[in-house]
Structure 1
C-alpha cells in the first residue's frame, strides 16, 4: 500500500457526497474514488444482511479494481450494519465509518433536548442503541426514523422525479420535525438537531428555514474527514505530492444505478462535469 493510491468512499447513493465534500476540503492532495450504490438504494430500509453483503461486495471491488489505500463508509446504515465485518475482511485497510453525531450534539445543546433524524436501519441498529444508551443523562434525545426521506432527496436529482420530489422532501421534513416536538431556545424545546443520514445534509437549508436560525444542525462530514486524516498520518499514507489542478483530476465517481442522477448531483454539489461520472456493475 502506498500514499499515491486513492481513498475509496461509498454510500447507498448521493448522500455520501456530503462527506466527500468535507474530505476534499480536509485532504486537498488526495485522490478519491466515490461509489454510489444507487441501484440498491436506500440502504436504510433494507435488511442488515443485505446491507452487509453489499458493503462487502463494494469494498472488495474498490480494493481489487482501484487499489484503494483507505475506505470511508459514508453511510450511517452501512456503518451500523457492516463496519465490524468490513474490518474483519480487510484488517490492514484503514476504515472510517460514520455515525449520528449525538455525542457532540449533547455537548452543544443549551436546553438539554436533542432531536435525531435517521433512517429506520440506523435507528434500529444495536450500534446506534448502544451509542444512545452511553449518553443517557447527558441530554434528552428525541429520535425519529425518517422513512422515505433519503429516497426523496435522492430523487431530486432524477429527471423523471424532479417535478414531484422537492415537494415530497418538504412534506416529509415537515412531518418528521413535527413528530419530534417543539424546536427553539425555550426550556423544554429542542435546540439541536442531528442529521443522522448523510443524505439529509442536502436538505439542511430547508430544515434551517423550517426550524428557525436558533436551532443548531449537526452532521458528521467534518469529523469523519479529520479522522481520515489522522489514520492516514498514523499509517504514513498521506499523499505528499502536489495538489491536482482540477477537481476532475483527483476524483472518479461511479454509480450502480441511474447515471443521470449522479451526474446531476455531482454538478449541483461538487461542480463536477458530467463526464466525471461513470456507471459500474457490482454483483453480490
Structure 2
C-alpha cells in the first residue's frame, strides 16, 4: 500500500463533510479526495433507478482516476440504494452510510425515534430492516426533509440560515402520530449534522445522533495496518459541476486546500 494513496469520500454535495471531519480527527495524516457530485444534486429527489445507475458508474471512473485505498459513500441516499452495486463494481473496500437506528434505540427512553432524511432514504426497505433488527420495540417516525439539504448547502456557502427555517423543515416529523414523544432523532442524511446547532435550538428536548463517528471508526479499522504520510496534507475537493463560489472559502476548515471541477 502506497502511503500517499487517498481515501475517497463521495456525496452529492457538502453533506459528506460531516463524515470527513471525524475521520480526519482519527486519521489526521490520511490523504483524501472529496468528490461532490453537484451535477447530480440533490440525490434525495432522484429516482432509485437514476441513483443505482449513476453512482456506480461515476465511482468507477473516480477510482480509475485517483486510485484510492478505500471509498466512502458519505451519503445515506446513495448508500441505501446503490451500496451493493458499488461494492460489486469496485475492487477495493467500500464503506457506506446508513441511518444510526441501532444507537438511537439504545438511547431512547420513550421508545419513539424520529428518522429525518431525504425523501428517497426514508422510504427505503433498508430502513425497515434496520428498525426491525435493532428497534423492534420502538415506534419509528420518518420524515423526508429535502429543504434541510438545501439549507445545509446554503450554510456552508456562507448564507444566513435561521432556526425558524430549520424548524419548519423538520416540524412535520413531530406533528405526525407519536411525533410528540420523539426523544431521539436520527440524522439520516449526512447534510443534516451541518445543521446540528439549529436543530438543537429548534427542538431542545431531542437528542440528535448521526453515523459520522461510527463511519470514521470503521475507516480507521479497515486501514489500521496501512502506512500514512508522516505529516498531514491538504485534501482535494472535486466537483462535477461549477460550485457556488462562496463555498470555496469555507473548505479550509475541513483540511481542503485544492478545489477543482471535472
Tell me whether the two structures share a fold, i.e. TM-score over 0.5. Answer: yes
Match of 2:248 in 1: 263
1:261–1:73 CA distance, 2 compared to 1 (3 A):
farther
Q: Give the corresponding residue for 1:224.
A: 215
Q: Does 1:243 align with 2:231?
A: yes
Aligned length: 257
Alpha-carbon contact 1:262-1:277 (below 8 Å) kept:
no
CA contact 2:32–2:235 (8 Å) conserved in 1? yes
SS of the aligned residue for 2:223 comes to helix
Q: d(CA) in 2 for partners of 1:176 and 1:148? A: 6
Give the Å deviation of 1:96: 0.2
* Structure 1 segment 2-17 matched on structure 2, within 5 A: 2-17=2-17
If the length of structure 1 is used for normalisation, what is the TM-score?
0.83
Listed one character per residue, the Cα deviations across residues 110-140 of structure 1 (whole Å, up to 9, x for unaligned) are 2222111000111122222221232343322
Q: Which of 253, 256, 259 is matched with 2:237 structurally?
A: 253
Structure 2 unmatched runs, 5+: none
DSSP 3-state at the match of 2:172? helix
Aligned residue for 2:128?
129
The 1:241/1:122 distance shift into structure 2, 3 A limit, reads same
2: CA distance, partners of 1:13 / 1:170 = 23
C-alpha distance after superposition, 1:140-160 (max 9, x if no partner): 22111113321232134458x
Gaps of 5+ in 1: 183-187
- 2:135 and 2:211 mapped to 1: Cα distance? 20
Superposed CA RMSD in Å reads: 2.1
Deviation at 1:3, TM superposition (A): 4.3
Q: 4+ residue runs of structure 1 moved beyond 4 angstroms?
A: none
Contact 1:38 1:256 in 2 (8 A): yes
